[in-house]
Every structure is written in C-alpha cells, then in structure tokens.
Amino acid sequence: MSLLKSREAILALAIVALLAVIASRFPAFITPRNLAGVLTDTSPLILLALGQMAVILTKCIDLSVAANLALCGMIAALMDGMGVPLPLILLAVIALGAGLGAVNGLLVWRLGIPSIVVTLGTMTIYRGAIFLLTGGAWINAHQMSDAFKAFPRTVVAGLPVMAWIAIAIVAGFALLMLRTPLGRAFYAVGGNPHAAVYTGISVGRTQFAAFVLAGALAGLTGYLWVARYAVAYVDIAGGFELDVVAACVIGGIAIAGGAGSVVGAVMGALFLGIIKNALPVVGISPFWQMAISGSAILIAIAFNARANREAGRIILKQAEHRT
Amino acid sequence: MSILTKALTTAAMATALIAGSAQAQDDMRIALVVKALGIGFFEAANKGAQEAAAELGGVEVIYTGPTDTTAEGQIEVINSLIAQRVDAIAVSANDTDALVPTLKKAMDRGITVISWDSGVAPEGRLMQLNPSSSPLIGNMIIKLAADNLPEGGEVAVLSATTTSTNQNTWIEEMNKVAGNYPNVKVVGTVYGDDLADKSYREAQGLMQTYPDLKAIIAPTSVGIVAAAQAVTDAGKVGQVNVTGLGLPSEMAGHVKSGASKSFAIWNPIDLGYSATMIAYHLAKGDAKAEPGATISIGRMGEVTLDDNTEAAMADPFVYDASNIDAFSSIF
C-alpha cells in the first residue's frame, strides 16, 4: 500500500498502462528494438530534465536550456566545420554550456534577479547569438563530418551511444543527488532556505551550481541533438524548454523546490517521450495530440497538488472541517 | 480601378518620357529591392536580373535592400530610390501593408512599382509576380513522387503545422489532381510542426505505420530535411524516396546519399529575371498591368495577370543529382 503512495510507483504504473494502450493499437511499438529507439529519442529530454530538476529543486527555473542547447549545438557544428576533432568539440560544448549556465547562475546569485526573468532574457540572447554567429544560415548534413554524425548513432551492446550517455549521466546524477554534499544542498536550499543558511549552506552558491550543471548538460545535449538530426539552425529545439519543465512536473519535482527524485525526473521524461513517439503511429489526429500532452501535464500537477495537501499538518481539526 | 491604373501608367510613361528627354543617354534604371542583402536566394535573383538587363540592353539594375529583414529598412531604401528617380522598383516585401504608403508615393512620382516573391497589398503595386501558383505546386509535389514510382505505391505527406496556410493550400491542390496519378496512393498526412525533431519522429512513424511506403512528400524545408535524415537512419534509402519542397543548400547531402531523388523549389535566378523583364515592359509602356493582361518575360515565356493583378511565373524548378551542386552554393 505504501508502494502505491509513492509518486514514482504511480508514474511507473501510468507508463505501463500507457504502453499497454499503445500496444493494443500498434503492437510493434513495444518490441525491444522500438523501445530502445524511444529511449534514444528521449535521451535529450532526460538529460535536460535532470539539469532542470537540480535547478527546480533550488526554487529556481531555467527557461534558457533549449536556447543553450541550440547555441552549443550550433557551435559544435561550426567547430566540426573547422576540422576540430570530436573529443575537443565535446569538451568545448560542455564547457560552453556550463559557462552559459553560469551566466544565469551569477545573475540569480549576485544580483538576486528572479530566475524566471533572468532565463527568459538569456533565452532570447542565446538564440540571438546563434543568429549573429551564422546570419540565419543552416548547417546541413553534408557540411558535417561523418565522425561527427556517427558518434551518437554508434551501437554499443545493443544501444546507441546517445542512450548510453543518458544512462551513464542518470546514474551519475543519482549518485550526486543522494551521496554528495552538493546534491543534498540542492534539496536543503529548496526545502527550507533559512534552515539551509543556518547549516552553513550558501543559497546563492547552490543555485549557481544548479544552473552550471543544467547548462553543462544542455551543452552536451546540444551536440547530441545536432549530430542526431544532422542539421543546425537558429530555431532547433524551439519550445523544448517547456517539454523539459513538463517532464519535471510530471516526474513529481515540486515546482516550489525541495522535493523530487532522479527516478521521477527520468520517468517524467520517458512518459512524455513515449507519448511523443507513440502519437505518430497510433493514428490519432494531430489536433488531439497537443490536447493529450497537455492533459498529461495537468493530471500530473493535480496529483502533486493532492499529495502536497495531504502532507500538510492539520493543527485545528475542527476549523478544517468547518471551512 | 482600371482608370486609375491607366492614369498611373500614363503618368509613368509621361515621367519616363520627361526623364528620358532630360537624361537622354541614361539607361533605364530598375531597382531590385530585396528583403535583406546577403541572402543567397536574393543574390541569385540579382544574377537573373543582370541576365535580363544584358539581354534587354540599355537597362541598369540597381540591386539593393536593407541589411536586416525589416519593413522600416525597406522604406528607407525605397525613399532613397524615389529621390534617385529610378524608372522602376521591383520589391520583395518584408511586410504586406507597411510598404504601401511609400510605394504609393513612388507611383505618384511616376515610378513603375511591382512586387515579386513576397507581395505587397494591391494598392501599393501595379502587379505581383508569384514564383509559382498553388495549383502548380500541388501538382508538382505529387508529380515528383509519381515520376520516381513507375510501378506506383503508397506515399504520405509530412506537412508543417496543421494551421500553415501555404502547406494546407498546396496539399489541397495536390489532392485535387491526385486522380491524374492513379498509381500513387496518398495514405495519410502528418504534421511535423516545422520542428526538426517532431518531423523526424513523424517520418519514423510513417515508415512504421506503412511498411510499404514508397515516398514521403514534405512541402516544407524543415520537414524534407528531417524526413530524409529519418529515412537514412532507418536504412531505407532507395526504398523510401523523400521529395517535396526544399532548398538546394540544405538538401545537397540527402540528394547525394540517395535519400531524396529530386525535389522542387522556385528558381531564384528565373524569378529575378522575370521580375526585371516585367518591370522593364511596364516602365517602357509596352505592357499594361491590368487583369487579364499578358506580359512577355523573355526566355520564360509570358505571364497572365489574374483579377488581383497577380501572376504566376512557372512550375517550381526541379533539383536532382544533375544540378544540385550548381545551386547548393547559391541558396
């Protein structure tokens, strides 16, 4: 019974139910090969959801992740065009992503501007920077080297490298969240900032670290995205930041901070990823697709709201009943 | 309306005559105003315009435009052209309505004004030259699929968003003429929302849903690239042909890999050539911009104006392995 109460368990059940419904209309969807494809396709969302989770835990939000991804992806494609070797490109985009995240983090930490405003601004700036870099031109498949495009697709032990990267980072992130002072600080800062200060945790510095982490992941994902779809232009991953936030919300990351798990964020991302991949094959009108995605988010939020209310302590039982 | 047009044309002729007598040796000056400088598509249009000028003789083409795609920038450029007293302005507008007052002023001064590619409202120009027309495009996209399917088979459409006016019109026109290609069966339309990742997934979905799919028609530049990549990744090159509307520079790799045998888009060289030809004939006064009129456009044949004084140049131009290299460096 207590297992059923855990949000992760409910979400896991929802995913299984979702897969069952899809399989009843399109059985080939749940073949291991296709599911591996879905996991690969959802990898960018998983990576960004993890970074976003760290940010949301600290009571912030990062709307610039998709723009960060697009800018780092474009830089990766440009570097490839200049003949820079792949390992160097990977290091560069991760560093650049972390740097872009640090800009957000510094503005939030040092100037105390609300994160939603900061990242709304940097989101536009990063997209604009891509335009300035390229003049709006695209970088296309034939302009990228084969090694650059092949890396995320290379199949190792049955899964493409892209999926393995996601899996490795999920494991690393779980370790970070559960076993390191920084991971615990994210929860502490979001759960009770004042208490966190008394225990010697700097709220601003922790938020800064969360933004840097989210930025670095967005940078890495930028390369993966561009290499996978073999195209880079200003608008890639347009609106993707909302998917990322939605994955976190569905995964039970409390938007007010301090609560949520890595498993939740990953499952939230998988849930959205399955819907995105299944809708084209189950033959649902595109007009319904958006409504279905939206409903999933609302239902998840309703769940969260209910769970949070029950967690509250009722001090005056009589007063509670009277209202 | 036709009286006004006549009056304007007369005024244009009168000004041309006055200008001609005042500066007798001067060439006719036609300004090609583009959305922004430095865009490959428009540079190619200029190439066509220069070709037309050389063919006509005694014509100087002024290629100009703002540095970014804004209506304000174009208004400034047009104002300076009015001050220079050019003979004709052919504009690809950044805004349908914003340019109208300035262009009206130009016409009041006797300058022949036409729009091409991206049009302006009828009161701001004598005529609009469209690169093609919706029926021609609709027919072309299904023809491209059919030409590579001698035995016929299933094809599906990957569009932009459900509300994209252009794509919806083209698909509607395509369905109207689908009967002319009895071997080709259009099995469905999906929407990639002009996002690379969603288009890619939709293309994957199409190949899963219809295992016998022979072609994907994507009348959108984002969709066609994403579909070609999805076909390549699925190892179905040669089995599923991706076609539709795209840009040569973006499609070059996919044409070479064989994922796309051919695709279409307007030819900007022809478009610049035709716009210059029309501007020349209207400014010279040997053609009139009124509904039903036909205007000669040199090697491209002639165009006929419809009730909105709009004309369609030609079928979209087909790009394949034979000509992709020549155009991929242009736009």
Instruction: Report, as an integer, the average pLDDT of A217-243.
Output: 91
Q: Report which listed range, A49-53, A277-281, B23-27, B196-200, is most confident.
A: A49-53
Number of folded domains in chain A? Answer: 1
Instruction: Report, as an integer, the average pLDDT of A23-40.
Output: 89
Residues of B in contact with A142 (CB under 8 A): 252-254, 256
Q: In this complex, which of B191, B196, B201 lies closest to A41 when CB atoms are compared?
A: B201
Q: In this complex, which of A37, A231, A281 lies closest to B196 when CB atoms are compared?
A: A231
Is residue A62 a part of any domain in this protein?
A: yes
The pLDDT assigned to B119 comes to: 83
CA B33 to chain centre: 15
For A:217-236, CB contacts with B below 8 A are 225, 229-231, 235-236
Q: What is the mean pLDDT of each run of 10 residues along chain B (331 residues)?
A: 59 51 65 85 89 91 87 92 93 88 92 89 90 88 89 90 82 90 89 87 90 92 91 90 90 90 90 92 87 87 86 87 84 77
Strand, coil or helix: what is B190? strand
Is residue A25 a part of any domain in this protein?
A: no
E strands, B101-255, are 112-116, 127-130, 153-159, 184-191, 213-218, 241-244
Chain B positions touching chain A (beta carbons under 8 Å): 38, 162, 190-191, 195-198, 200-202, 204-206, 208-209, 225-226, 228-229, 233, 249-254, 256-257
Burial of B300 (0-12, 13-18, 19+ CB in 10 A): middle
A143 contact partners, CB below 8 Å, separation of at least 6: A77, A81, B253
- B59's enclosing H/E stretch is strand B59-64
The pLDDT assigned to B4 comes to: 59
Q: d(Cα B173, Cα A190) in Å, to the nearest integer?
A: 56
Is residue A315 a part of any domain in this protein?
A: no
Is residue A150 a part of any domain in this protein?
A: yes
Contact A214, A62 (CB under 8 A): yes
Is residue A151 a part of any domain in this protein?
A: yes
Q: Is A141 on the interface with B (CB under 8 A)?
A: yes
E strands, chain A, are 155-156, 159-160
Instruction: Report, as an integer, the average pLDDT of A276-294.
Output: 79
Burial of A316 (0-12, 13-18, 19+ CB in 10 A): exposed
Strands B262-265 and B317-320 come out as: antiparallel
Structural domains of chain B in order of their starting residue, each with its CATH number:
2-130+268-314 (3.40.50.2300), 134-265 (3.40.50.2300)
- What is the SS3 assignment for A151-182? HHHCEECCEEHHHHHHHHHHHHHHHHHHHCHH
The pLDDT assigned to B213 comes to: 92
CA closest to A235 among chain B residues = B195
Q: Count the residues in chain A.
A: 323
- Contact yes or no for B198 and A276 at CB 8 A: yes
- Contact yes or no for A28 and B191 at CB 8 A: no
The pLDDT assigned to B21 comes to: 43
Q: d(Cα A295, Cα A285) in Å, to the nearest integer?
A: 16
Encoded tokens for A260: 């949520």
Instruction: Report, as an integer, the average pLDDT of A62-70.
Output: 95
Give the pLDDT band of residue A208 (cuts 50, 70, 90). very high
Residues of A in contact with B260 (CB under 8 A): none
Q: d(Cα B300, Cα B281) in Å, to the nearest integer?
A: 14
Is residue A83 a part of any domain in this protein?
A: yes
- Interface probe, candidates B39, B197, B198, chain A, greatest A C-beta count within 10 A: B197
Q: d(Cα A288, Cα A311) in Å, to the nearest integer?
A: 35
Write out the residue range of the structural domain in which residue A182 sits.
42-244
Instruction: Report, as an integer, the average pLDDT of A289-297.
Output: 78
- Contact yes or no for A225 and B197 at CB 8 A: yes
Instruction: Report, as an integer, the average pLDDT of A171-184.
Output: 94
Encoded tokens for B225: 């690239």
Instruction: Report, as an integer, the average pLDDT of A242-259.
Output: 89
Q: d(Cα A323, Cα A315) in Å, to the nearest integer?
A: 14
Encoded tokens for A175: 């370790």
Contact A113, A73 (CB under 8 A): no
Give the pLDDT band of residue A3 (cuts 50, 70, 90). very low
CA B191 to chain centre: 23
A284 contact partners, CB below 8 Å, separation of at least 6: A292
The pLDDT assigned to A308 comes to: 60
Q: d(Cα A2, Cα A17) in Å, to the nearest integer?
A: 20
- B195's enclosing H/E stretch is none
Is residue A89 a part of any domain in this protein?
A: yes
Q: d(Cα A123, Cα A101) in Å, to the nearest integer?
A: 11
Q: Is A32 on the interface with B (CB under 8 A)?
A: no
- Contact yes or no for A231 and B200 at CB 8 A: no
Is residue A119 a part of any domain in this protein?
A: yes
Q: Report the gap between the CA of A38 and the closest CA in chain B (Å).
A: 10
Provide the percentage of residues in chain A whose pLDDT is more than 70.
Answer: 92
The verdict on ipTM greater than 0.95 is: no
The pLDDT assigned to B95 comes to: 84
- Contact yes or no for A138 and B162 at CB 8 A: no
For A:151-180, CB contacts with B below 8 A are 153
Q: Residue A2: pLDDT above 60? A: no
Q: In this complex, which of A135, A138, A235 lies closest to B250 when CB atoms are compared?
A: A138
CA closest to B160 among chain A residues = A286
The pLDDT assigned to B108 comes to: 92
Q: DSSP for B252-313?
A: HHHHHHTS-SEEEE--HHHHHHHHHHHHHHHHHTSS--STT-EEE-GGG-EEE--TTSEEE-
The pLDDT assigned to A287 comes to: 72
Nearest to B118 by CA among B92, B89, B90, B97: B92
Q: d(Cα A229, Cα A236) in Å, to the nearest integer?
A: 10
